[in-house]
Amino acid sequence: MNLTGSGSPLAQADRLRSPGLATGELGILRSTILPSFALHTTLDLAAWAASRATDKAELKDWNWPASQVINAWWSAVGHQVFYNNVAPQTAWRALSWTDKTLLSLVTAWGTRLFARIASRTLRRGADDARYVQLKKQNPVGFWKEMLWKQYLPEAAFLTLISLPFTLPFRLTSPSVALDADVQAALRAFGVGLFGAGFALEVLADSQMEAHRAERQDLCRSGVWSIVRHPKY
């Protein structure tokens, strides 16, 4: 079976990135920002409903890594499957090496962070102390306030910070032409940069967990003393 010819599934899928998308402001707005905002808003509303039903506002934190991974997969594979009737495996094979690497790294990051946050919630049983305090301050209007001040604004913030791993899947052509050697160097640099950041995040979280197992004051040693909020 010919997978590389002009009429092959791979060639067709490669042409199926939303047609006519350009790197201009209007093109990015229509192709990436608005769809991402709609997706994150939907997921945040679902998280808000689940949080309210279970009385656990910390479910919002579960949505932080999960929604970014979902958005990356939707941008890379899902929208082609849904809108263009392309088989998932065909859409995946049509991705470039760089696209597959980017998607895999984002998935690894989001899966680890989601597992860490979810396991922390399950071990604790009760809601996060931050949200417990907010509930005490506003027992009647807590959930309405959370919706407008945290859940929905977070959808806009997630739309912005997810652009580096959604925009590459939405544009039909690169804005800058680079030769093969430069592309290879940039790929290696990107993977190395991600690896370093990912390692720092894992190490900082591990040090913080070890610190909290011994005492509850602020951790002022190790990587955590420098990073403080590694997932950001």
pLDDT tier at 174, thresholds 50, 70, 90: low
Q: The pTM is what?
A: 0.79
- Mean pLDDT over 205-210 rounds to 84
For 125-169, how does the pLDDT look when each residue is reduced to its tens digit (9 = 90+)?
889 889 999 999 999 999 999 999 999 999 999 999 999 888 888
Task: Using alpha carbons, list the distances in angstroms from residue 125 to 13, 21, 47, 139, 224.
Answer: 46, 46, 18, 20, 25
Asked whether residue 99 carries a pLDDT value surpassing 60, the answer given is: yes
Query: What residues have CB less than 8 Å from 37, skipping those under 6 apart?
Result: 155, 156, 159
Residues, the chain, total?
232
Q: Say how far apart CA 216 and CA 208 lie, in whole Å.
A: 10
19 or 222, which is more confident?
Answer: 222
Asked whether residue 59 carries a pLDDT value surpassing 90, the answer given is: yes
pLDDT for 223 equals: 81
Percent of the chain residues topping a pLDDT of 70: 83
pLDDT for 22 equals: 46
Average pLDDT, the chain: 83
pLDDT for 216 equals: 78
Q: Say how far apart CA 214 and CA 148 lie, in whole Å.
A: 37
